[in-house]
Amino acid sequence: MWEKLQHRLEIRFAQMRAHPELILLIALAYAGLILTIREANQELGGFGVFACVAIAVIAASLVARLRHAWQFMPEEEAAPQPPNADEATPLALVAPCAQGDRSYLVRVPAPTAVAYEVVRKAQDVFRSGAIDPEEDMRAFHSDPYSLICLQDPDGNIFGFIDYYAFEKNHFKLFLQGHYAFDNLLASGLLAHPQARKAKVVYLATILNLSFLLDSMRAERRRQNGILVWATVSAILEHHRFPPDGIDIYSIGWDKGGAAILKMFGLQPVSRVMRGQAEGKWIYCRRGVHRRDLEAIRARYQKRYERLCELDVRPLAGLTPDIANATGA
C-alpha cells in the first residue's frame, strides 16, 4: 500500500512541476468555493450550503465522465490517419531535438541507471514473483535496445515497454504448452546482435505508472501513444525484417495492457497453457513488415512528436560500456 502511495505522490509532484499554473488555478477554485459557501450560508442558511456542495459534486462528476469518455474514444476519431500514405508528410525515425516545450523524453538505448530504476519501480508495482531483478538486468545487458522508457526532462519515469527477441521454433514450444515462459527465457532468449534478426518479437512488460491516478486519464492516453510510437520507431531502426515479416506477440494481463496491445495491431489468438500467466490471452500479429510498423509510427508521431523528444540511436551509436556489455 505504501509503495502505491509513494508512486501516486511521485507522479502528482511531477505533474505539478510540469504544470505549475495548475496549483494557482486549483487554489483559486477552492478559495472561490469556500467564499461561495460562506455567502450562501449567510443568505440562505443550511439550504444554501447544501446547494453549493451539490453543484460542486455534480460538476466534478460531469468532468470525470467526460474525461472517461475521451479516454475510450477510438483512435481514428481522435486523429484520422491519412487515407494515402503517399500524401502524408515524410517522417524521420528520430524526431528532431526538443524545442523547449516538450514534456517527455525517450532515449534508446537507455542508460544502465535508468534500467535499474525501471526494474525497481516494476517490483514496487507488481509486488510478486513476476519481476526477477537479476533476470531483467541480464536481459537488458544482453540487448539494451529492447528497453523503451518514458521520462520527463528531470529524469522522472512515467512508464516503459521492454521486448524480447526469440527464434520461431523456441517460441512455438511455448505456444504449444511445452515450455513455461521462464524456460523460454532461459533457453531461447536472443542477445544483440542476433536479436536484430529474430523472427519473433515479444512485448514483455508494459507499464504506465499513471494508471495509479484516475485524474490522469487523458495524460495516460497520451503517454500510451508515445510509448507505442517510440517502440515501433526503435524496432524499425534496429530490426532486420525477413521477407515474410516478423511475428509480434504479447500477453494481455489486464484491460489496460490489452488496450495498448491493440494500438500495436495485436489481437487475442489463444491462451497461455502453463506458468504464472496460465489462462491469460496471448495477443499476436503475424507477418508484420516494415510498412505495417511505419503506418503505426506515422499515426502516433503526427500526434505526439510535439510532446516528446525521441532519441533512437543507430546500432553504431552505442557507447563503449554498453557495447562491451552486449558483446557487440
* pLDDT tens-place values along the chain, 328 residues long: 555 555 555 555 555 555 565 566 677 777 777 777 777 777 777 777 777 777 877 876 665 555 444 443 444 333 333 333 333 333 334 444 334 467 899 999 999 999 999 988 888 877 656 667 788 888 899 999 999 999 998 999 999 999 999 988 888 888 888 877 778 888 889 999 999 999 999 998 888 887 655 556 788 889 999 999 999 999 999 999 999 999 999 988 888 888 899 999 999 998 888 777 788 889 999 999 999 999 999 999 999 999 999 999 998 544 444 443 433 3
What is the chain's Cα-based Rg?
A: 23
Encode pLDDT of 123-154 as tens digits. 887 765 666 778 888 889 999 999 999 999 89
Report helix, strand or coil for 87. helix
pTM of the model: 0.68
What's the rounded Cα separation, in Å, for the pair 292 and 231? 13
Residue 149 · residue 118 · CB < 8 Å: yes
Distances (CA, A) of 187 to 137, 175, 195, 239, 278: 17, 15, 14, 21, 20
Nearest to 156 by CA among 101, 103, 222, 109: 103
Encode pLDDT of 213-231 as tens digits. 555 678 888 999 999 999 9
Residue 83 has which C-alpha cell? 487515407
Q: What angle do CA 110, 116, 121 make, to 5 degrees?
A: 110
Residue 105 · residue 308 · CB < 8 Å: yes
- Pairing of β 267-271 and β 308-312: unpaired
What's the rounded Cα separation, in Å, for the pair 130 and 128? 5
Give the side-chain half-sphere CA count within 13 A for 174.
27
Nearest to 202 by CA among 245, 254, 164: 164
Please name the residues in contact with 11: beta carbons below 8 A apart, sequence gap of 6 or more. 158, 209, 210, 212, 213, 216
